[in-house]
């Protein structure tokens, strides 16, 4: 048989088999991950939406542990619906929801020298420092500070990230959430090892030429002295703690190059920070939902605040939970995410914590793109997670415009979202950052008024 005909036959048979399997999965509601994410008929066949299932009450002693939604004195759960507003659900809405964080911001604003760190966790919605690069800039303009914060050793978006430019050699061995080498993962969901590789990173965010920037390596432990080449000079150190912050340079330069030849040392990334100010670390990982942090060692997490404390932790997830257009019951997510948030709160007891809701995402219903029919249920679940863990909540979906806002963003010129009806483009990400910054400032001003 002609080779071209064999190729055509192979493609035809493959597509045919995949089409039949898609139809079977769709109509018989079989759950298998490849067809959950990619189904050839989901956009052309529309089935009536399933009725919304009532979210079950949580009973902690059962295997399935939904959240108990109960009334609390002087708290109002319905505040989660309010756009542009950070709530800790207190009925006293004139009080700061992030009081500890706001106090530290006030210290900076009134001239006290200190470092404030924000850990911003998310999926592809913040990949490449989208949203966080604008949030960082706005916060540093208001409260001071220079430096991009944490930058991982390597990244699949390192070539288009604008806030930091990274070049690196081959030879970096990576472990991450999607792999299982049983090595310690950092907050980024990554860990790197090498027998002989280098990386060079330049901070693109600094505009003050007089700012002295501390460039530090974050790494794990190894039971011996390690030689590290920094800008062609060799330094030795003994990383004996679970997390080690190794200061490589404190000067006016914005670039650092390091080379390592020790495969036993777990390496996480490099930080760029001035002596005082606020810093926002971007911890993005494409395709996750947040439950992956159950894999990160708790003892290791407990040790992080010793050398790298965070004053505010932000969890923004959601769009990867809505991969099927008719899903409306997400109580399973509360069962898996509740212990993760409790774990993070326990490991970072001095940190304020915000759950940020999903942004809007759309599917095609009856030939027209509209917001996912289960998005309200998911956001309520996310708010319940915050409510139950004494965390704060920010409704990003309502803030960006609510139902069908992602459709408007994608179709109205100038566009603010991609035509996948999921991801804001850089213009939209900048707008989301401005909204969130405004909510933080509004919350900060409540604290400022309380101490005047």
pLDDT tens digits for 386-408? 999 999 999 999 999 999 999 99
166-197 residues labelled b (16+ CB within 10 A) or e (exposed): bebeeebebbbbeeeeebbbbbbbbbbbbeeb
Q: Is 295 helix (H, G, I), strand (E, B) or coil?
A: helix
Q: What are phi and psi of 88, to 5 degrees?
A: -105, 15
Mean pLDDT across the stretch 173-196? 88
pLDDT of residue 50: 33
Taking 50 as the threshold, does the pLDDT of residue 36 lie above it? no
From the list 137, 367, 172, 170, the residue with the least C-alpha distance to 266 is 172
As a whole number of angstroms, the distance between CA 437 and CA 134 comes to: 9
Taking 60 as the threshold, does the pLDDT of residue 40 lie above it? no
The residues pairing with 246 across neighbouring beta strands, listed in sequence order, are 217
Band of residue 184 on the pLDDT scale cut at 50, 70, 90: confident
Q: In angstroms, what CA-CA distances link 425 with 19, 90, 162, 319?
A: 32, 34, 14, 15
As a whole number of angstroms, the distance between CA 75 and CA 63 comes to: 29
Taking 70 as the threshold, does the pLDDT of residue 55 lie above it? no
What is the DSSP pairing of strand 115-122 with strand 277-284?
Answer: parallel
Band of residue 16 on the pLDDT scale cut at 50, 70, 90: low
Q: Are 388 and 67 in contact (CB under 8 A)?
A: yes
Sole residue written with tokens 């019951």? 329
- Please state the length of the chain: 452
Band of residue 181 on the pLDDT scale cut at 50, 70, 90: low
> In this predicted structure, which of 40-54, 79-93, 151-165, 355-369 has the lowest mean pLDDT?
40-54
pLDDT of residue 189: 95
Q: What are phi and psi of 379, to 5 degrees?
A: -65, -35
pLDDT of residue 159: 83
Q: Are 353 and 389 in contact (CB under 8 A)?
A: yes
As a whole number of angstroms, the distance between CA 341 and CA 355 comes to: 9
pLDDT of residue 58: 33
Strand positions, DSSP E, 105-209: 115-122, 149-152, 164-168, 172-176, 190-194, 197-203
* Per-position DSSP letters for 375-408, written without gaps between them: HHHHHHHHHHHHHHTT-EEEBHHHHTTSTTHHHH
The residues pairing with 237 across neighbouring beta strands, listed in sequence order, are 226
As a whole number of angstroms, the distance between CA 367 and CA 97 comes to: 42
pLDDT of residue 207: 85
| Helix ranges, 49-151 (H) | 99-109, 132-143
Burial of 73 (0-12, 13-18, 19+ CB in 10 A): exposed
Q: What is the pTM of this model?
A: 0.85
Taking 80 as the threshold, does the pLDDT of residue 65 lie above it? no
Taking 60 as the threshold, does the pLDDT of residue 347 lie above it? yes
Taking 80 as the threshold, does the pLDDT of residue 47 lie above it? no
Q: Are 127 and 284 in contact (CB under 8 A)?
A: yes
Mean pLDDT across the stretch 426-437? 98
From the list 216, 208, 228, the residue with the least C-alpha distance to 270 is 216
Mean pLDDT across the stretch 202-221? 95
Q: What is the pLDDT of residues 270-297, one digit of tens each?
A: 999 999 999 999 999 999 999 999 989 9
pLDDT of residue 11: 62
Conformational region of residue 130, where left means phi above 0, alpha means psi within -120 to 50, and beta covers everything else: beta
Q: Are 119 and 278 in contact (CB under 8 A)?
A: no
pLDDT of residue 288: 96
Band of residue 209 on the pLDDT scale cut at 50, 70, 90: confident
Q: What are phi and psi of 402, to 5 degrees?
A: 75, -150
From the list 198, 220, 216, the residue with the least C-alpha distance to 264 is 220
As a whole number of angstroms, the distance between CA 338 and CA 318 comes to: 14
The distance in angstroms from the start CA to the end CA of the chain is 86
Residue, of 22 and 167, whose pLDDT is higher? 167
DSSP 241: S
Cis peptide leading into residue 414 (ω within 30°):
yes
As a whole number of angstroms, the distance between CA 387 and CA 352 comes to: 14
Mean pLDDT of the chain: 88
pLDDT of residue 25: 47
Residue, of 35 and 85, whose pLDDT is higher? 85
Taking 80 as the threshold, does the pLDDT of residue 10 lie above it? no
pLDDT of residue 5: 60
pLDDT of residue 158: 87
Q: What is the pLDDT of residues 354-384, one digit of tens each?
A: 999 999 999 999 999 999 999 999 999 999 9
Taking 90 as the threshold, does the pLDDT of residue 415 lie above it? yes
Rg (CA), the chain: 24
pLDDT of residue 302: 95
pLDDT of residue 19: 61
pLDDT of residue 79: 97
Strand positions, DSSP E, 204-243: 213-219, 226-230, 233-237
Sole residue written with tokens 């989301």? 432
Q: Are 397 and 349 in contact (CB under 8 A)?
A: no
pLDDT of residue 452: 80
Mean pLDDT across the stretch 220-249? 96
Q: Is 110 helix (H, G, I), strand (E, B) or coil?
A: coil
Band of residue 179 on the pLDDT scale cut at 50, 70, 90: confident
Residue, of 37 and 187, whose pLDDT is higher? 187
What percentage of the chain exceeds 70 in pLDDT?
84
Q: In angstroms, what CA-CA distances link 244 with 101, 141, 150, 296?
A: 25, 29, 14, 17
């Amino acid at each position: 048989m002609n080779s071209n005909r064999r190729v055509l036959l192979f493609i035809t048979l493959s597509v045919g088999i995949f089409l039949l399997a898609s139809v079977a999965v769709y109509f018989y509601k079989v759950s298998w991950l490849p067809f959950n994410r990619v189904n050839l008929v989901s956009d052309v066949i529309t089935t009536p939406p399933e009725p919304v299932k009532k979210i079950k009450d949580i009973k902690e002693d059962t295997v399935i542990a939904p959240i108990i939604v109960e009334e609390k004195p002087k708290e109002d759960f319905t505040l989660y619906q309010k756009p542009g507003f950070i709530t800790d659900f207190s009925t006293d809405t004139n009080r700061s929801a992030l009081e500890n964080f706001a106090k530290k911001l006030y210290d900076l604003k009134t001239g006290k020298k200190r470092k404030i760190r924000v850990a911003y966790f998310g999926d592809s919605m913040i990949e490449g420092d989208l949203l966080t690069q604008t949030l960082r800039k706005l916060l540093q303009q208001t409260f001071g500070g220079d430096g991009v914060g944490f930058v991982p050793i390597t990244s699949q978006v390192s070539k288009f990230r604008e806030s930091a430019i990274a070049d690196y050699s081959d030879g970096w061995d990576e472990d991450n959430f999607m792999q299982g080498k049983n090595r310690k993962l950092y907050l980024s969901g990554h860990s790197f090892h090498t027998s002989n590789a280098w990386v060079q990173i330049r901070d693109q965010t600094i505009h003050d030429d007089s700012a002295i920037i501390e460039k530090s390596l974050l790494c794990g432990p190894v039971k011996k002295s390690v030689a590290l080449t920094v800008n062609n000079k060799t330094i030795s150190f003994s990383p004996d703690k679970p997390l080690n912050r190794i200061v490589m340079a404190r000067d006016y330069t914005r670039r650092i190059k390091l080379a390592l030849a020790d495969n036993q040392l777990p390496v996480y990334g490099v930080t760029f920070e001035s002596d005082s100010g606020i810093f926002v670390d971007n911890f993005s990982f494409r395709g996750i939902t947040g439950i992956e942090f159950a894999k990160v060692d708790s003892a290791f997490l407990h040790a992080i605040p010793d050398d790298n404390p965070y004053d505010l932790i932000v969890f923004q997830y959601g769009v990867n939970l809505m991969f099927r257009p008719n899903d409306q019951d997400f109580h399973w997510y509360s069962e898996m995410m509740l212990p993760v948030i409790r774990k993070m709160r326990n490991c970072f007891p001095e940190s304020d914590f915000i759950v940020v809701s999903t942004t809007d995402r759309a599917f095609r219903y009856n030939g027209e793109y509209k917001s996912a029919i289960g998005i309200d249920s998911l956001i309520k679940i996310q708010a319940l997670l915050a409510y139950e863990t004494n965390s704060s909540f920010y409704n990003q979906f309502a803030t960006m415009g609510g139902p069908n806002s992602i459709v408007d963003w994608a179709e109205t010129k100038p566009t603010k979202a991609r035509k996948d009806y999921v991801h804001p483009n850089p213009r939209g990400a900048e707008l989301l950052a401005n909204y969130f910054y405004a909510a933080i400032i509004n919350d900060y001003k409540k604290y400022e008024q309380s101490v005047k």
